[in-house]
Every structure is written in C-alpha cells, then in structure tokens.
Amino acid sequence: MAEYRAPLADLQFALNDIADLHAIPDSNGATPELVEQVLTEAGRFASDVLAPLNQSGDLSGARIENGVVRVPDGFADAYGRFVDGGWNAVCGPTAWGGQGLPWVVSTALSEIWQSSNMSLANCMMLTQGAVELLAHHGTDAQKRAYLPKLISGEWSGTMNLTEPHAGSDLGRLQTRAERANGAWKLRGQKIFITFGDHDMCDNIVHLVLGRLPDAPAGVRGISLFLVSKRDVLEDGSLGAHNDVRVNSLEHKLGQMGSPTCVLMYGDEHGARAELVGEPHGGLKTMFTMMNHARLNVGIQGVAIAERAFQQALEYARTRVQGSPIEEPRADAVEIIRHPDVRRMIMDMKAKTEAARALAIVTAEALDLARAHPDPGVRERSALRAELLVPVVKGWGTDRGVDVASTAIQVHGGMGYIEETGAAQHYRDARILPIYEGTNGIQALDMLRRKLHLGDGEPFRELVSDIQAVATQLADSPGEDLPAIGRHLATAAAATGEAGTWLTGKFWDDPRAAAAGATPFLELLGFTTGGWTMGRAAIRAAERIRSGETDPFLGTKIQTARYFAEMHLPTAAALAGPIRAAGNTVDAAAAA
C-alpha cells in the first residue's frame, strides 16, 4: 500500500482561496498561518502514526473476547497518542475544554484522519458528533458530566438509530424507556452501531433513539436518550457497568478495523438512561448529530478518494508496461505515459478536488451561520449549508466509490489483488453511500425539503451565484477560463430548470418527481463541483497574474478545465432523464 501524504497544498488553497478562512468571524485565532502549522502537524501525525495501521487493521479486524470488543493491534496506542496530542479537542467548544476552531478547519483535519485510517477515525468522527449534539441540546448537568471527557477524547460517543426490523424507517423503532425509581430504564436492540464497544477508552456515551410509554406512533413519538456504558458518579469518576452489552459484531465488506456492533439494552434490569431534549422531540434533536455525520461522511468520500488517488498515482508512475502508442517499437514505459491511464489519473484528481472544495465551502457556510455579526448573513448561510449538506454527502460519497473503483482499474489485475491495497480502499468506500441516510434518501430530502426552503429562494440564489462565476470565467482572458465558463453556464441553466421543474412536479405527481430525484442530486453535485473548481481557476489565474510562479496554480487551472469539459456536459444532459424518469420507472417491470 502506498504511503499516505496529506494534500496540504490543496487543502490550504481550498481554505484560503476558494473559501475565505481569514474572513470567518469568531475563529478563535485560526489565522491562515496558524492553520497551516496545524495541518502540517496533522499530516505528519497521520502519515507516521495512523496510516501505517490502515492495512494491518484491515487484515486483523476487530474481534470480541469475553464480551469485550478488541480493536486491531496498534489502534489503542494510536488513539491514545491522538488524544494526548489534543487533536480530539480541536473544534470542541472552549467552555468545555475545546479549542473552538472553525468548521472549515475541522473539515480539513477530518479529511486527513479519514484518509490515513478510516476505520480508526470513525471513532473520533462520532465522538465529535456527540459533542455537537450535547453542546446544543444537553442540560447543564449533562454538559458538565459528559462534554469535557468527550471533547478530550477520554470517552467516546456513538449514535444509535437503526433496529433490525426498521432500517431507515425510524418511525418503526421499538426501543422503549420506562420510569423506575425516579430514573429512565431503556430496553431494546440496536444494530450497525459503529464503535458501539471497544477497548480504547474507559467509557462510551451512547445517544439512543427510543420511545416513552405515552409516545404517539411514528416519528413524532421518538425521544432521545443518553446511556453511559458506565455510571458517572457525582465526582466525575466511573462507577458500575450499565445494562448494555455487545451481542455480536457484523461481518462486513470493508472497514474491518472499525467494530460495527449489535447492542442490547436492558436485558437484565434495564439500561439506566437520561432524556436528552424534549420528550417526543428526539428525532429533531438527533438531527444535530445526523447532519454532522452526513457532512462528515461526505468528507469520508473525499478522504477515500484522495487515498485511492495517491495509491493509483504512485503505481502508475512506477509500473512499466507497454510501448508508447506513438512509438510502438520503443521500450516499455511507465503506464502513466499512456493516454488512457493519464485520463483515469486526471479524472480521479479532478473529482477529488471538486468534492473537497465543495465540502470546505459547505463548512464555511456553517461557520458564517454560527458567528457572522449580520443576522441576515447568518440566516442565508444556514440555508446555504442546509441545501449543500445532502450534496456533499450524496455526491461526495458516490465520487469516493467511483474514484476508488478507478484506482483498481489503473492497477489492472494487480488492483484486484489484496496485497496492493487498492481493493481495500474500494471496500472501505462502499458503505459511504449507505451510511447516515442512503444517497437515495439524500435525494428525497433535496426534493421534499431542501428545494422548498425559503419558498425556493436559497436554491435560486445558489444557481445565481454559479451563473455569476460562469460569467466571470467567460469574461476572463485566455482560453482556459472562458472554456470552463461556457460549460459551467450550461450546467447551471440545466440545474436551475430541473430544480424548478421538480419543485412543481412534486406537488402534482410526487412519484414522478421522486423518480428523478437521484439524477437531480447527481446534476447538482457536478454543477456545484464545477462551481468550486471555477472559483479555484479564477483565484489561481489571479495569483499567476500577480507574479506567483508556483506550478500548483497552473495545474489547478488545468484540473478545473478537465472537470468542466469532461463532466459538466454529461451532467447538464441529466435534465432530460430527470423529466423522463417518472414516465419509465413505474412502468418498468419490477422483476
């Protein structure tokens, strides 16, 4: 497996040139200079400590011994070093021991951790989501008891939604809480619980969806509970084990080092639980953690794409096979010199950079929604983030899968052999379009909710912003930027028209609209990806005109043009299938 090196130049370009890190208010001293140092140190830690365990963790996997989940060798030590280095606290609230750095910084760091070792980084990602939820919805007592330990990483957190009979249909949950001796006792079963148990820290804080005795049916009867693996005593120390146990570990396609648990609550006396938020308001409360997870799973898509790209690029630069097509009698050359291999490498690079930039821009909107002094900017930024999160999750994870698949293709037959490591990236990537609401659910969320936010104004404003970038590109000197602008303008027009059509169609014929929802999410993903790459090209050209000579800038323009010319015309053509889907999907035979 190729060594991992954090893409520091592209991360910093995305933070400072596509987004504007310097302009984010209340960033707790996160200057571009400081963030550069943080990312450099993070990249070093990831390369030296986390990445070397990625393949060995995949080979050995997590296991159960005497009812306790054991992570792969080296994981616990690496996690301890991660916590001791303060990395878990980087973006936690300062009031509870965090460093309070912005979402954009968290996004860049998350990519580094996930690229280097996704199986291990799952634990940190979920803990960060638990921190976000409790910081917003926990009582003062819950914040005091749990946030400092979660932020430091001394304890970890989980998210418990799924049950065997319900899947994504949360309205069918059967886990129930009953009042006994002044406390809630929880009983039920949860499946697919990532890091539901492990031996890397002393306590695990489970956030669990369930029902109160008087709960109405469906999603309006869901409450949220906190279940600590061990009792937390008044002085903060840990007491007895709670009535929660691991029933089994799932046998999976990938992410073998990340334990996916079946958890049983209340088999004996009932699991001691605390209500979080309002009774019957659990789904709304949990959405704080779910939206955090959806953004971070989108970042996982970027991360695995980057890791697969690095793997394929190294192989293509060193594998000697075949004569150049223009000199058939010449000696064999490195395969990166063959046009189709170069095409695949460029395709991986362009998709990864577009998805990365889109994730950073979405995180920037979250930062502005949180801290901008102008309430109007806060509101618009919050709506922009709501609109883009399902795109980052859906389109970003689909790109992770297809880039990882292309990486296997670059390796040829050797890519299908586990020893090279290329297959692991594909196996690890495949869960991402399913995690935290399948991508089909993300598409339906876009159709049913996000296109209708603010009577459609946030969507129209996004399309207008994309068209403005296309116009700026078209009016730029040279050949590269105008070419990008032409394709981006066409994609933006197709996106606007398709979104308007779907919005109207949804009220008249929701099944027909739903049939076109997934291709629309694909169209919106490629168009917003082209938008971020167009912005990147503009900034790179400005810096070149100012006298900078870094080759990175010219490469960025080439990559943006590749993305525009190879993907935006195909994306724009999805406008037809979006409209036609309703006529063909239901008519097609089910068998």
Concatenate the DSSP letters of all residues of 521-546 into one string. HHHHHHHHHHHHHHHHHHHHHHHHHT
Using DSSP's 3-state secondary structure scheme, residue 242 falls into: coil
Report the C-alpha gap between 388 and 383 in whole angstroms.
Answer: 9
CB 422 within 8 A of CB 2: no
Query: For the chain, how far is it from start to end, CA to CA, in angstroms?
Result: 41
- CB neighbour class for 333 (10 Å; exposed up to 12, middle 13-18, buried from 19): middle
Q: Report DSSP state, residue 153.
A: T
Can you give the pLDDT at residue 585? 85
**pTM score of the predicted model:** 0.96
Digitized pLDDT (tens) for each residue of the chain, 591 residues in all? 889 999 999 999 999 999 999 999 888 889 999 999 999 999 999 999 999 999 999 999 999 998 899 999 999 999 999 999 999 999 889 999 999 999 999 999 999 999 999 999 999 999 999 999 999 999 999 999 999 999 999 999 999 999 998 777 777 889 999 998 888 999 999 999 999 999 999 999 999 999 999 999 988 999 999 999 999 999 999 999 999 999 999 999 999 999 999 999 999 999 999 999 999 999 888 878 777 789 999 999 999 999 999 999 999 999 999 999 999 999 999 999 999 999 999 999 999 999 999 999 999 999 999 999 999 999 999 999 999 999 999 999 999 999 999 999 999 999 999 999 999 999 999 999 998 889 999 999 999 999 999 999 999 999 999 999 999 999 999 999 999 999 999 999 999 999 999 999 999 999 999 999 999 999 999 999 999 999 999 999 999 999 999 999 999 999 999 999 999 999 999 999 999 998 888 777 565
DSSP state of 334: B
Measured torsion, CA atoms of residues 402, 403, 404, 410, in degrees rounded to the nearest 10 = 110
Residues shown for the chain: 591
Taking alpha carbons only, the member of 385, 396, 423 closest to residue 407 is: 423
Tokens 């909107």: give the residue.
365
Q: Write the CA distances from 538 to 474, 484, 503, integer angstroms.
A: 11, 10, 32
Pairing of strands 271-276, 244-249: unpaired
The answer to whether residue 111 is catalytic is no
Distances (CA, A) of 525 to 188, 376, 428, 486, 574: 38, 26, 22, 18, 12
Do 198 and 71 meet the contact criterion of CB atoms below 8 Å apart?
A: yes
User: Phi then psi for 38, rounded to 5 degrees?
Assistant: -60, -45
Domain 8-154 of CATH type 1.10.540.10 = yes
Q: What is the pLDDT of residue 591?
A: 53
User: How many Cβ atoms sit within 10 Å of the Cβ of residue 5?
Assistant: 15
Burial class (CB in 10 A: 0-12, 13-18, 19+), 262: middle
The CA-based angle 235-79-418, given to 5 degrees, is: 150
Of the candidates 309, 258, 301, 512, the one whose C-alpha atom is nearest the C-alpha of residue 390 is 301
Q: In the chain, how many H helices and how many E strands?
A: 18, 12
CA atoms within a 13 Å half-sphere pointing along the CA-CB vector of 301? 36
- Which pLDDT does position 90 carry in this prediction? 92
Percent helix, strand, coil in the chain, to 5, is 65, 10, 25
Contact between 399 and 305 under an 8 Å Cβ cutoff? The reply is yes
Given the residues 436, 457, 497, 522, the one annotated as active site:
436
Alpha-carbon distance of 164 to 174, in angstroms, equals 10
- Give the residue from 385, 337, 343, 345 showing the smallest Cα distance to 361: 385
Q: Is the dihedral of CA 13, 17, 23, 25 positive or negative?
A: negative
Rounded distance, CA 218 to CA 251, Å? 31
Question: Cα–Cα distance between 194 and 402 in angstroms, integer?
Answer: 24
Find out if CATH 3.40.50.620 is the number for domain 156-280.
no
R_g (Cα) of the chain, nearest Å: 24
